[in-house]
Structure 1
């Protein structure tokens, strides 16, 4: 498996950001680590082994990036006004810097003049961020794999609410989306998988709430609840990736 390490300065964040890239060809996949996670977690926790058949076959190139959760969602003692604006800078880093970099690399590697869209994948708080990216920017992301996420910004920001929190709280902005919003048919041309277990340390109520909103808005997504033995842990996320990836990678 080809593996590359990159460190690049981010204008949006005013700091260097690190990433690892797994694979030599295929569609781009953006991996968001779990809460407070780092770019090397995809490899260190063994997720590369689950994705290896698809990476080595040239079906996907996985780009694993850093979170800045310690400055944003996790820093509960600091001012939420500034924390959510720092988070918005991280979103801009992804959409305006990381995605174009990914596009250029996969186009070069595959000999493409366009690209098939970016899949975004995460577990736990990484799933929260992944879903936010997918639903905010369906012009950039055409696949979502969100495992064991929480889809309201209340998890990181409590009762604090302003326009930037609202724009980053999936349950809030999808709940307020008009039925004739142009994003809805755009979502329905794509594929999204949102899964939660019901076992130890899982919090499936947020996923149930999101499922109801998606149904009310006519937004198609595969929302799946696994059993009471399914815990909030890597061993289950490995199984879920193996189960859902064939569906997401099928272009039909």
Structure 2
């Protein structure tokens, strides 16, 4: 399985960023790490290994960028308005420096996005904000309400990065064309969050697959089981 490491200075974030890319060809999948994870986390925790066959067959290429959660939602040393603004810059970074470049290189208009735990939030938030650029969204034990990270503060940047708030009013036609998977475990700490998002999608008649695994908890063994199953549908 081909693995490449990239490091560059991000003009959007004004900092160095790293990314791992797996595979030599195939449909692009942006894979976000968990809470404070970096570009190497999904490799080190064997999530990439779980889909080795798809990568080696040239069916998919997987892009694992850094997160900056320690500078945004998880940074309790700055005002919540700054946390939200830092995430907006991260969203712009993913679009301008990752997705747009990948699409230009591959001659495609869309990518798939995926992630476990907080990466599931990242995948869902990006997909629902930019449905014109996302064909598939695979959330594995994600949570979709960011309000607990902003200490009661609320502004447009919080609203438009909080899927349970902005999605009910979203009407981009590509939302109804996106292939959406909400994967969660029966004993998952994010079970209720997935049920809530499922109800929003149902109310909007947006097609999706709700995949609840019995006797499973919020952890890597579950996600390593989910990811190859979801890629098989791509």
The 2-side partners of 1:155 and 1:204 are apart by 17
What do you get for the CA RMSD once the two structures are aligned? 1.3
Asked whether 1:29 is paired with 2:29, we answer yes
* Normalised TM-score (structure 1): 0.89
Residue 195 of structure 1 corresponds to: 183
Asked if 1 retains the 8 angstrom alpha-carbon contact of 2:47 and 2:227, the reply is: no
Residue 152 of structure 1 corresponds to: 145
The 2-side partners of 1:208 and 1:76 are apart by 28
Query: 1:116 Cα deviation (Å)?
Result: 5.7
Of 212, 217, 234, 1:231 maps to 217
Query: 1:164 Cα deviation (Å)?
Result: 0.5
Query: 1:74 Cα deviation (Å)?
Result: 1.3
- Give the 3-state SS of the residue equivalent to 2:48 in structure 1: helix
Query: 1:244 Cα deviation (Å)?
Result: 2.1
Aligned length: 234
Residue 138 of structure 1 corresponds to: 131
CA-to-partner distance for each residue in 1:89-114, whole Å, 9 max, x for gaps? 00000011111221234x2xxxxxx3
Of 169, 179, 203, 2:162 maps to 169
Identify unmatched segments of 5+ residues in structure 1: 108-113
Identify unmatched segments of 5+ residues in structure 2: none
Of 183, 193, 212, 2:199 maps to 212
- Give the 3-state SS of the residue equivalent to 1:241 in structure 2: helix
* Normalised TM-score (structure 2): 0.95
The 1-side partners of 2:126 and 2:82 are apart by 20
